[in-house]
Amino acid sequence: MEKYERIRVVGRGAFGIVHLCLRKADQKLVILKQIPVEQMSKDERLAAQNECQVLKLLSHPNVIEYYENFLEDKALMIAMEYAPGGTLAEFIHKRCNSLLDEDTILHFFVQILLALHHVHTKQILHRDLKTQNILLDKHRMIVKIGDFGISKILSSKSKAYTVVGTPCYISPELCEGKPYNQKSDIWALGCVLYELTSLKRAFEAANLPALVLKIMSGTFAPISDRYSPDLRQLILSMLNLDPSKRPQLNEIMAQSICIRPLLNLYTDVGSVKMRRPEKPLAPVQTVTHSRTGGRVSSARPRGVRGGSARTGIPPPLSSIYTWGSGITTPLRLPMLNTEVVQVSAGRTQKAGVTKSGRLIMWEAPPMGTAGGPSLPGATEQLQPQFVSRFLEGQSGVTIKHVSCGDLFTACLTDRGIIMTFGSGSNGCLGHGNFTDISQPKIVEALLGYEMVQVACGASHVLAVSNEREVFAWGRGDNGRLGLGTLECHNSPQQVAVPPEHEAQRVICGIDSSMVLTGKLRSVRAQSLPAAFPGPSCLKQMGFCASLGDIRLFLSLASGQCYTFGSNQHGQLGTNSCRNSRVPHLVVGLRAMKVTVVACGDAFTVAIGADGEVCTWGKGARGRLGRKDEETGTPRPVQLEETHPYVVTSVACCHGNTLLAVKRE
């Protein structure tokens, strides 16, 4: 609270007290909502945290702006925008019996309409829209909706069952106990518009049973005939007892009665701030891979082929390479003109995160199209072609990490929220069902936590919160979830980590898992060789696991790389096929300072500080980025780079590798 000076209490809600405060840094008035958490139940704490998570997702001129949240005196403090004009309910009450003119009503209404549309595009249901939660600026010209304490984040087809909200604004389907979705907010919006025209609520009664009876029958006083037939019909359509017959928000916006006030709003108030688009697609030409042989010298400039002085077209900011699954030499994927900072690969997916927080995907075209398998009898297989695209429906959400499993993907946002999409088989999406979805959906069970890391195996997921709690879901056979059973779970389950350990990171293999606690004494206990400097120098641990193939890689701060575990194909880099139970130095990497190690299906990739890429292990189907060649000795992989570059991320899955490089 040292950043704020309390002025007065301006309200008391179901969960706490609302203070008007002065922000000392810029002398700006702000609202601080104080929510005591010490004596709350877990559900109440999750509801309080939910308001923070919802506010973080929203950014719109007609939605109360969120600033920050923090703990103070055993209470959650939420700092948000102050609207000095009071509530719309107070504004209506002060009118007494003096009806508003239609232009003023529509001026307010279209702003609420735009705000609610923004909320719904984030898959959020407000569930308590009312004039008391609609606030005004000091000139009483701009409206802002607020109070998302009982809002619920939904998928586009989800329906909520909990009966919440102010009784006068609840919809008939809630009264009947039926499931509802965004159409309940449309009903509440109709109630608000009716209140603007009539200066009184559409549904009021002396007691709850009488109120429910009125709502169920759709009985309310007629609207004044001073208003246009279009306005009266709009109210009637939103207050239709059948949810399916209520108009969608975009249908309301398209009605002639709303077009002029919407245009006036954009002219007079200013347009809605939009997300800055990514740069346009950079031209990508088909690349014919030619090998010059030999290792690229550090003195030789490295970079992206394709940009030249002749064409004047600059190369992309990043290059993405893939090999494996029949691609025997590094294939540069088509690239949007943006910088990729992290990549992940699944059995079928290839995904990356851009510097601006967008999710980019690379997809192969359908069988039989250009770049697909060659015709029977052909002597040479054509290189497959891929298409790059940004994931749709991500506006307003910043992704900071992506992890791919088999046919599904998990994303972590900068707000600590996990979103998943793809195949729902085995419950890998964590949504409490086995339904496939094509657009990212928030894992609602984790909304009460701030997640800091997520990792996907072939058919299971592990995640860590900022409180170092570990959650797991998906297939449970072989004990991969760490829950003490072999059962599958389609929603996150907390993993019991011994209290003396604090989870720092989770790693998923194909059907195994590992929790790194920051205390690596267990590694020291395995009779390490004298040459091994000890866990205190550990910089990175790489891990890959599948049936009969488990190995660990320790990358030290000095750049040395140690390996132990399965070694059937020489994947430990020891030039031997014998398994090892103690760490051994990878001698072939002595000349290279290793910064990143990654494990695939019986093969390994190591990245050096100068951008060198080395692979070893099983070579079938291009796993090593060279012609089929099985080797236990690390050997370089050649990238088609002619400008200086650094490797920003590498990912391996099964027999595939995905590599991102950035121009220096």
Annotated binding site: which residue ranges?
33
**248, 270, 465, 520 from 240: Cα distances, Å:** 12, 33, 44, 63
Residue entry with tokens 């969960």: 15
- Contact at 8 Å (CB) between 400 and 418? no
Longest dimension (CA), the chain: 93
Could you tell me which residues come within 8 angstroms of residue 591 by beta carbon, excluding any fewer than 6 positions away?
none
Could you tell me which residues come within 8 angstroms of residue 560 by beta carbon, excluding any fewer than 6 positions away?
533, 585, 586, 589, 590, 594
Given 103, 128, 185, 268, the catalytic residue = 128
- Contact at 8 Å (CB) between 650 and 639? no
Cα end-to-end span (Å), the chain: 43
Identify the DSSP state of 62.
T
Question: CA–CA separation, 391 vs 409, rounded Å?
Answer: 12
3-state secondary structure of 445: helix
Query: Would you list the DSSP string of 191-230?
Result: HHHHHHHHSS-SS--SSHHHHHHHHHHT--PPPPTTS-HH
From the list 482, 537, 470, the residue with the least C-alpha distance to 509 is 482
3-state secondary structure of 132: helix
Question: CA–CA separation, 440 vs 409, rounded Å?
Answer: 9
From the list 251, 217, 216, 215, the residue with the least C-alpha distance to 233 is 251
Query: Which sign, positive or negative, has the C-alpha torsion 310, 312, 318, 322?
Result: negative
Question: CA–CA separation, 407 vs 421, rounded Å?
Answer: 9
Question: CA–CA separation, 345 vs 656, rounded Å?
Answer: 7
- Contact at 8 Å (CB) between 165 and 174? yes
Question: CA–CA separation, 240 vs 219, rounded Å?
Answer: 11
Q: What six digits make up the tokens of 272? A: 């809605």
φ and ψ at 230, to 5 degrees? -65, -40
Identify the bridge partners of residue 658 per DSSP, sorted by sequence position. 322, 651
265-273 long-range contacts, Cβ below 8 Å, gap at least 24?
265/107, 265/110, 265/111, 265/114, 269/61, 269/111, 269/141, 269/142, 270/61, 272/60, 272/61, 272/114, 272/118, 273/59, 273/60, 273/61
Residue 128 a catalytic site member? yes
Q: Which residues are catalytic?
A: 128
